[in-house]
Amino acid sequence: MHKFSGVIPPVVSPMKSADQLDVEAVDRVVEHLIQGGVSGLFVLGTTGEGPSLTYQMRYEMVERTCEHVKGRVPVLVGVTDTSLAESIALAEHAAACGAAAIVAAAPFYFDVSQSALEAWFRELADRSPLPVMLYNMPSCVGVTLDLEIVDALSHHPNVAGIKDSGGDWTYFQALCDKHRDREDFVIFMGPEELLAEAVAAGANGGVCGGANLLPQVYSRLYLAAVRKDAVEIAHWKQTIADMFASVYRDDEQRMKLIPGLKLAMEECGLCSGTVAPPLMAVTESHARRIRGSIPRLLAACEYSTVEA
């Protein structure tokens, strides 16, 4: 089983319209990410708007990404769904396209017990032709995977690790403490602003949405964290703080990560800013702030050290 590490960004899903994938833009984004030094690609995640896409778009996104990657980095595919059968069908499609693993958050409609969730993930792992990465995403699915359930599932031969986007540092530290000596179970941080701290705590890497725009920033931050280079870590964290202030947050300081990120990518010629409902485009005042920040953010990528 492949052991994943480094920065594996949750790839945006470029669209011509809310129900049509822009396949040429998929190629541009994928190449931009690989050339930026990322260690893998995670398609159909939260930043990829996976649950909002038509099933046809999901399948096309997997096909086009794997086709353009050509094995240069591992591709992980989000299969989160309310239907276990649909999750398994997408896992089979991902395997046929050459993906390396699937990623699944808990089914998000019915309120069920932790034991029911464990059974759901266990059946997915039993039937998936690809290794499974658990995805703890309570803000989107309404439930946190108990640490005991994660531990039990971690010993399944087809469960490869977990991505934690819960934002609870105590929970994340407990994951690292419990599994830090495991060679068969990896831990990834979701919130990108905590990447350096996560690596220091024992994480294997991060799933950083901002890497869609600035892959060098997050890749170099990860390497700096591995080296414990405090000066370089501080530099890259400042750039990420600028991303939050100028691209992610609207005028009322509410997070508009996906629409803001896509508009910034549109300004850089990577893809359109189109998002799928229920997301909406950013306001014009927020758009002006994003456009004004692009030269500054791109200039930050020019920073380098001998090691980098």
Looking at 59, 135, 218, 222, which residue is catalytic? Answer: 135
Contact, 40 vs 74, CB < 8 A?
yes
User: How big is the chain by its Cα radius of gyration, in Å?
Assistant: 18
Question: What is the rounded CA–CA span in Å between residue 163 and residue 207?
Answer: 8
Using DSSP, state whether 21 is helix, strand or coil. Answer: strand
59, 163, 248, 256: which is the annotated catalytic residue?
163
In the chain the beta strands, taken as DSSP E runs, fall at 6-7, 15-17, 20-21, 41-43, 75-78, 101-105, 132-136, 159-164, 186-189, 205-206
Backbone angles phi, psi at 98, to 5 degrees: 100, 15
Residue 218 among the catalytic residues: no
* Positive/negative CA dihedral, 43, 49, 51, 56: negative
Q: Give the three-class secondary structure for 44.
A: coil
Task: Please confirm, yes or no, whether 135 is among the known catalytic residues.
Answer: yes
- Annotated catalytic sites, by residue? 135, 163
